[in-house]
A = this chain, B = another copy of it.
Amino acid sequence: MPIESPRRISLGVSMAGLGYHPAAWRHPETPAGGNMSLDHYIHMARTAERGLFDMLFLADGVGIRNYDEPKGAQQRSAGNVHFEPLTLLSALAMVTRHVGLVATASTTWNEPYHVARKFASLDHISGGRAGWNVVTSHTDMEAQNFGAATLPPKDRRYSRAEEFVEVVRGLWDSWDDDAFLRDQASGQNYFPERRHVLDHEGEHFRVRGPLNVARPPQGHPVIVQAGASDRGRDLAAATADVIYVAAPTLPEAQEFYADVKGRMAAHGRAPEALRIMPGLLAIVGETEAEARAKYERLQSLVDPVVGLAQLAFSMGDLSAYDVDGPVPLLPEWRQSRGQLMYEMAQREGLTIRGLFLAIAAGNGHAQAIGTPAQIADQMQEWFEAGGADGFNLLPAHSPGGLEDFVNLVVPELQRRGLYRTEYEGETLRDRLGLPRPASRY
């Protein structure tokens, strides 16, 4: 059951890689091989739990997603190898007791039966702490690992995603909560009328069911989404429990927040049934100067070829241009975001180097660099001014960025009454204040 309590900030932490900053892996406090070290992830998970976080969040791609462009950039980046999320989170379920476990799985390159099963299983293993971050994938590199040359068009991906989520939810309801009698004496194992065959037939899927896993402890594991497009917002308003969004400024966060919450009524949902959690890259110091120094330290470690690669992902390869000259206007951008980045460089008078350094840390997300009070101020403002229900913390480097936040910012938020002082409830839904979905049957 959801717990009645004053409205409080929800917190997740992005666990992917060795930190969100592209130079994170080069930071002397970062374990350089941590992306393939179970001990690193155990330490991250336990630190988040010590900080009473709602959830660990594992972004994911089904392939290596950084282009080797300019040539030589890839071998100088850390984001090439890592654990598969569902296996990793199942392991972390055993060394944590409270924190939620959110894994990304693509609806474009998976089958609903597998996804329903694995998340139901993780929910049982973890005692109701599983969440599924629904993505449609966004690179041709992933497509090429699944027999396709290119990513399907966005409309097609979204229509598949909508049906995919519907099928998964239906499969989770295959068994009523009280389906099993398990009476050894009489030999009656379950009540047949409490088992349901889905028999789904849609545009993208035909799935019979039932699922071969009992109904998850949470009814349905928590559904997380991140789409910011018009179609993504509608999908989230209709089906998401949590939205993770990139909003660099409060006005942008407010616009998104009001818009998505406003769309929920049309789907018969109350605004409280959805937690909006923008990404937040926080770098905290005892003093503002210390925090700035931490930031500059990381910035100084940005390899120019890696910086150019970060631009190339959205804009295209700029390595033929003077890195200390102006950002050129290319005939076309690789992603629509390229135009926004070009306009930002124009507006702020940035060179190519200036542009990649400007986006290095947050890369489109909000940044907060300062003392615990300054960071808490920014979070409180967003939380109280209709910009956020919580935040997905993006540690600049891991585990240091998370440790700093837990040691310094969490106590400040608690002093202000904005954050829990102990875990309440049992499941991830309880902690997020979300209702347990009733079965459709």
In chain A between 11 and 49, which residues have their CB closer than 8 angstroms to a CB of chain B? Answer: 25-28, 30, 32-33, 36, 38
Contact A81 B212 (CB under 8 A): yes
Which of B63, B86, B91, B190 is close to A80, meaning CB atoms less than 8 Å apart? B190
Q: Which of A142-150, A386-394, A423-431 contacts B (4 or more CB under 8 A)?
A: A142-150
Contact A125 B38 (CB under 8 A): yes
Which of B87, B144, B146, B211 is close to A122, meaning CB atoms less than 8 Å apart? B87
- Binary B-proximity of A162-190 (CB < 8 A = 1, otherwise 0): 00000000000001000010111101111
> Inside 8 A of A210's CB, which chain B residues have their CB?
64
Q: How far is the CA of A75 from the CA of B213 in the complex (A)?
A: 15
In chain A between 72 and 102, which residues have their CB closer than 8 angstroms to a CB of chain B? Answer: 72, 74-78, 80-84, 86-88, 90-91, 93-95
A189 vs chain B, min Cβ distance (A): 6
Q: Is A303 an interface residue (CB 8 A)?
A: yes
In chain A between 351 and 376, which residues have their CB closer than 8 angstroms to a CB of chain B? Answer: none
Report the nearest B residue to A111, measured CB to CB.
B146
Q: Which of A113-121, A239-247, A404-412 contacts B (4 or more CB under 8 A)?
A: A113-121
Contact A25 B83 (CB under 8 A): no
Contact A80 B125 (CB under 8 A): no
In the complex, how many residues of chain A place their beta carbon closer than 8 angstroms to a beta carbon of chain B?
Answer: 75
Contact A121 B62 (CB under 8 A): no
Q: Which of A201-209, A263-271, A290-298 contacts B (4 or more CB under 8 A)?
A: A201-209
Contact A146 B88 (CB under 8 A): no
Report the nearest B residue to A209, measured CB to CB.
B145
Q: Is A110 an interface residue (CB 8 A)?
A: yes
> Inside 8 A of A72's CB, which chain B residues have their CB?
192
> Inside 8 A of A192's CB, which chain B residues have their CB?
72, 74-75
Which of A32, A61, A182, A301 is the most central at the interface, judged by chain B CB atoms within 10 Å of its CB? A182
A280 vs chain B, min Cβ distance (A): 26
Q: Is A109 an interface residue (CB 8 A)?
A: yes
In chain A between 188 and 228, which residues have their CB closer than 8 angstroms to a CB of chain B? Answer: 188-192, 195, 205-214
Q: Is A8 an interface residue (CB 8 A)?
A: no
Q: Is A124 an interface residue (CB 8 A)?
A: yes
> Inside 8 A of A27's CB, which chain B residues have their CB?
184
Contact B83 A121 (CB under 8 A): yes
> Inside 8 A of A306's CB, which chain B residues have their CB?
187
Report the nearest B residue to A199, measured CB to CB.
B144
A295 vs chain B, min Cβ distance (A): 18
Contact B146 A113 (CB under 8 A): yes
Contact A188 B84 (CB under 8 A): no
Which of A84, A91, A206, A213 is the most central at the interface, judged by chain B CB atoms within 10 Å of its CB? A84
Report the nearest B residue to A190, measured CB to CB.
B75
Q: How far is the CA of A306 from the CA of B80 in the complex (A)?
A: 51
> Inside 8 A of A77's CB, which chain B residues have their CB?
189
Contact A91 B93 (CB under 8 A): yes
> Inside 8 A of A82's CB, which chain B residues have their CB?
212-213
Contact A184 B32 (CB under 8 A): yes
Q: How far is the CA of A386 from the CA of B306 in the complex (A)?
A: 59
A347 vs chain B, min Cβ distance (A): 30
Q: A33-B180, A147-B205, A184-B32 are in contact. Are A124 and B189 (CB under 8 A)?
A: no
Q: How far is the CA of A146 from the CA of B124 in the complex (A)?
A: 23
Which of B87, B117, B187, B208 is close to A26, meaning CB atoms less than 8 Å apart? B187
Which of B88, B175, B303 is close to A90, meaning CB atoms less than 8 Å apart? B88
Q: How far is the CA of A75 from the CA of B208 in the complex (A)?
A: 18
Q: How far is the CA of A371 from the CA of B94 in the complex (A)?
A: 38
Q: A78-B189, A109-B111 are in contact. Are A87 and B90 (CB under 8 A)?
A: yes
Given A64-B212, A91-B91, output 6 extra A-B contacts at Cβ < 8 Å.
A25-B184, A62-B117, A75-B191, A75-B195, A77-B189, A145-B208
Sampled A-B contacts (14; CB under 8 Å):
A26-B185, A26-B187, A32-B184, A63-B208, A64-B212, A75-B189, A76-B187, A80-B212, A83-B121, A91-B94, A113-B146, A144-B208, A145-B207, A147-B205
